Structure 1
Amino acid sequence: MDTRRLVSLFLLITTLALCACQAQTSRSGSEALPSWTDGPTRDAIIDFVEAVTNTSSPDYVPAADRIAVFDNDGNLWSEQPLYFQLIFAIDRIKEIAPEHPEWRSTEPFASILRDDLPTALAGGEEAILQIVAASHGNLTTDEFRDAVEAWLETARHPTTGAPYTRMVYQPQLELLDYLRAHGFSTWIVSGGGVDFMRPWTEAVYGIPPQQVIGSRMKITFEVKDGKPTLFRHLEIDFIDDKAGKPVGIHQQIGKRPILASGNSDGDLQMLQYTHAGPTRTLCLYLHHTDGEREWVYDRDSHIGRLDQGLDEARINGWTVINMKEDWLTVFPSDE
């Protein structure tokens, strides 16, 4: 074969390879986040990911520093009409009530046993902390894990009748997969209990237990019946909410995230901390605007209140996800 034919063949092969590469890039871009509506929100996510993963981009971030943190309640799964962990705690109070006859005359437990939740929760945060401490403490970490797993197998959402692990957001599941496919490590940073989430987050979200940061009870090492174990006490050790979230991120991850996703004012400091980083960042706020497929709430809600966060998002140019407009589907069961 002469030199001219060799050159022509080389050019042909190169052209075909480039076309195939471009076609693959186009397909991957068009197929990303299929439950998201084509529009500015989806574009902002894809543009960010492409910018920080392209080695020729001025915004390139090495894979080791591509850290994405997600709130859980109201952001990865639903949180209405009550935080799901609080429903678990209430169910557990009823289950172990025979061991505590004093609860029949002690609030907030007495009202729980009468199924009078408004009165039980009238004490606000203090009452909730009492319920969580009493229902989550005085047992080993293995015993608590077993209790969580048993509850998830049988418990059903009071409105939809679905298992709680089906009350997760399909578009967010796709976002987690999309980020991991582009070299991100995905983390949960939630005000919920870390030991409540760890038994199931890997199966549901693909996030392993060591990448879950949450509130925690005081735990000590003890030898029980000759067996080394970890014991959960009736005392809260750390609340991973609001200003506690950046602290939890620093203590467990040791690096500042470049992407943060939340839905309430409880996530504001996490987004502020991420936004202040030295690289390009993406801050996402999920706005609950869909009363038909989910719930509508924001500034005046007692659960998942999003007030100051909406104002900060506007000031800082953060991306606000409009659930009604930006999501083609909400829950996996919609598909």
Structure 2
Amino acid sequence: MNHDQAQALLERLVHKVDRVIVGKRKEIELAVVAMLSGGHILLEDVPGVGKTMLVRTLAACIGGSFGRIQFTSDLLPSDVTGVTVYHAQSGQFEFRSGPVFANVVLADEINRAAPRTQSALLEAMEERKVTIDGVTRALPKSFLLLATQNPLEYEGTYRLPEAQLDRFLMRLTLGYPNPEQEVDMLGRMQDPPNPAEMKPVLLPEEMAVMQRMVRGVLVDDVIKRYMVGAADVSRRHPQIALGLSPRATLAWMGAAQAMAYFKGRTFVTPDDVKAVAPAVLTHRIVLRTEAKLAGIGGEQALADVLAKVDVPIFARASGASS
């Protein structure tokens, strides 16, 4: 697959999802960028704005196997990863895999499950494998987790631990459509699309090829110093209790590489870095109590961090594109 073919496939993918999720092209593009980087996505918003539909549509457009987990308060870890059962007739133990053993997994309303069940996904998200009864089993190579969650003030929700939040490459919000978009949506829903009947635009093997190409996108040292500088400022910021970790800067760089690839370039620019920063970094920042009481949010704190770091003057375009 050459670069032009990849760009054509990605444009078809975004266009197809955009026909279902009205007026959210920016969020769709960021979700595709996250998949190109091989990262997991957390969609956080109020009920009814299309979180689950977006995930189902993306999964249908990628192809491969699909698993869905509806998180509830009584869900057990074995309901996610699978269980080993004993057959008395054969005298053998048999492993029955859970829905996590799929190319694309939808974790619907992930914060409605108890922390013990949420933690069952940690190994899968980080290492692409799960350990059950002392046996480690690999997940599909193109494993991707797309999770939805409702705001914490909603009844029956549990806060995701920081360690798990850190394993999501991006946290996205859809928000309400504007009135014109909602009218358009009502018209389209008179004959609603069924994601289960959609033909895939990309196969998992093609996505894996693109992910390898993304890792080859050039990142100049001046870009790396800019990202590390921002991380260092966050660790010393008076309103931030827990700043950006080295894992955060690695995720940030990977997402910037994917954004550059999505835009058809072979090198990262400062615009790529800034475009993915809010989705990649906001959920990795823990604010101090006094900052929360003052009404300061993660987005505002991150904006202040980035404002304190000089944006590099990038003069590598001609050399990087060669």
For the aligned pair, the TM-score class normalised by the smaller chain equals: 0.3 to 0.5
Scaled by the length of structure 1, the TM-score of the pair is: 0.33
Scaled by the length of structure 2, the TM-score of the pair is: 0.34
Larger radius of gyration between Structure 1 and Structure 2: 1
